[in-house]
Amino acid sequence: MVLRLDTGDRRFAIVNADGAPDGAIVASPYSYSLSTAAWIGRVNRYDGQLQLVRTPSKPSATATPEAWSCTSSVDKAKF
C-alpha cells in the first residue's frame, strides 16, 4: 500500500490500488490520522506502522483492527 499524504490540503490517497478511496488526514507530532467513509486509520510517523479499522458491512458486526507495516504486507489491498 502506497499512501500519498498531503498535509497542506489535509488529504491523502492510496496510489497503488484501483478504486481505493481517498480521504482526510490530520497530522500530529507522532502520527497521521486518516479517515474515509468506510474506515479510519493511524500511521505512526516513526516506525511507519498503519493501524486500520474498517467499518463493518453489517451493523451487528464488530470491526477488527488490521496492522500494516513497512516490513510485512497483504498481497493485494482490497477496497
> pLDDT for 33-75, tens place per residue?
888 887 888 888 887 778 877 776 566 667 677 776 665 444 4
In a domain? residue 73 = no
Chain segment 9-41, per-residue pLDDT in tens: 999 888 877 777 789 999 999 888 888 887 888
Range of the domain at 50: 3-68
The pTM for the full model equals 0.67
In a domain? residue 57 = yes
In a domain? residue 78 = no
Q: In total, how many domains does the chain have?
A: 1
Burial 3-39 (b: 16+ CB within 10 A, else e): beeeeeeeebbbeeeeebeebebeeeeebbebebeeb
Position 31, amino acid:
S
In a domain? residue 23 = yes
- The string of DSSP letters for 12-26 reads EEESSSTT--EEEEE
In a domain? residue 79 = no
In a domain? residue 49 = yes
Q: Is the dihedral of CA 35, 38, 12, 49 positive or negative?
A: positive
